[in-house]
Amino acid sequence: MGSNSALEQTIDKILTQTEKTILSNLHSALTESNQVLDDSIPKLEQEYDKIISDGKKEADKIEKQLVGSSDIGARNSALLVLEKAVDDVFTKAIEQISNMERSGDYSKLIKTLLDESTKILGTTKVVIYTNSKDKDVVQSVLSQFSGAELSSETITCIGGVIVKSKAGAMKFDNTLDARIQRLKPLIRKEIATKFGVGN
């Protein structure tokens, strides 16, 4: 009995100590885990904030791209409409010029074109080319340009003249076709500015 009681006491003692040790270890582990968790919270919050911030930046970037694409598309459409409108206006103007009477005003225009051309070439010793419709008008003002002569060849244009120096080294295209082409970009730009399209 005596030895059994001593054995039981020893076992109880060992069990109690083991229990205390386990409880102590569990407490330490729990405390340590809580500390690790507490330490990791700021880091997790930082990571969370970074993910949200990066996501917002990416969303802003995509939004800007979409808005930019939309703006470019709208601008391109407006430019196409503008281009067509300008072309229509020029087509109508060319048609009217082609059909206009070669009257006194037209004769003044031809004189102005010849003035400009001979000044640009720096000589009145020139050969003038025009279409069959303007030949008489050009011939009628030619007396005001000494040394100038009208070519027997005709050119295809809606009106105006091509002037070449007699030496053949210089040429100035002052047909109405060429003038319209030179003016077209400026007129297009003015219209675009007026309607807020373009640059």
What's the CA gap between 156 and 158, in Å, rounded?
7
Kindly tell me if the per-residue pLDDT of 1 is higher than 60: no
CA distance 20 to 55: 51
Report yes or no: 59 and 157 within 8 Å, Cβ to Cβ.
Answer: no
| pLDDT bucket at 2, cuts 50 / 70 / 90 | low
pLDDT in tens, 167-193: 888 999 999 989 888 888 887 788 778
Q: Which residue has the tokens 């109880």?
A: 12
DSSP state of 151: E
Instruction: Specify the CATH number for 101-195; select among 3.30.2320.30, 3.90.1150.200, 3.40.50.2000, 3.40.50.620.
Output: 3.30.2320.30
3-state secondary structure of 97: helix
Residue extents of the structural domains in the chain: 1-99, 101-195
Residue 199 has pLDDT above 60, yes or no: no
What is the pTM assigned to this prediction?
0.58
Query: Can you name the residues that pair with 154 across neighbouring β-strands?
Result: 130
pLDDT for the residue numbered 174? 94
